[in-house]
Amino acid sequence: MPDDSIAARMNAFVEDLQQRLCRRLEDEDGAATFRRDEWTREEGGGGTTAVIEGGDLFEKGGVNTSAVHGELPERMAEALGDEEHDVEPAPFFATGLSLILHPRSPYVPTAHANFRHFTLGDDRTDPDDQWFGGGADLTPYYPFLEDVQHFHRTWKAACDRHPAVADYEAFKEKCDDYFYLPHREEARGVGGIFYDYVRAEPEAALAFSKDAGEHFTEAYLPIVKRRRRTDWGQRERAF
């Protein structure tokens, strides 16, 4: 009988999304392709690292997936718990996709995103606990207001489609807090959304996570297309 659990469907989604993102980003670059490396974890599970470098558009980037499982150590269980949820040592399964893109042109922003799911319990179809996390953020070196507005509008629209799960203003504030650099008293980049320990109704939370993952290219690539042909030299790159 096939595994129709939330965990299995999230894992299938991130693996498929990785393939589609790599193809789309290769098409945008036009010169470089992703090099893939499959790895295994001794304690259980593994993943695929996909790296692109030396391209016309992307100097370096990665789109990586993982699906790992095992016994959650007590120290990690304590770290994952909070005032509302006690987390006990138990079998776990975690899957997700993370990406980072460093363009060659200083006028094209760096982007980061990740989408993940964590399950606790012996039975993934009826877990003791599960939650989603993820987000996306943008780091421009030469900020343009229309780019920042486009990036945030896209994520707000994604959140607004799932009001039972996602609160754009709360997710935006968490992102701002997460990427604030206190020693420099400034933010890293222009933000985006960040969420963790989302324990909404599982089907609804999965739908939001998939919608968010699908819309990374909508949030990012129009900015890339708008800025990649802007002339630049060593002075702009060293800024």
Q: Catalytic residue numbers? A: 112
DSSP string, 121-181: SS-TTS-SEEEEEEEEEEE-SS--HHHHHHHHHHHHHHHHT-TTT--HHHHHHHHHHHTEE
- 8 A C-beta contact, residue 109 and residue 192: no
Q: What angle do CA 188, 190, 192 make, to 5 degrees?
A: 105
- 8 A C-beta contact, residue 133 and residue 197: yes
The conformation of residue 39, written as its DSSP 8-state character, comes to E
> 28-49: buried (b, 16+ CB within 10 Å) or exposed (e) per residue?
bbeebebeeeeeeeeeebebbb
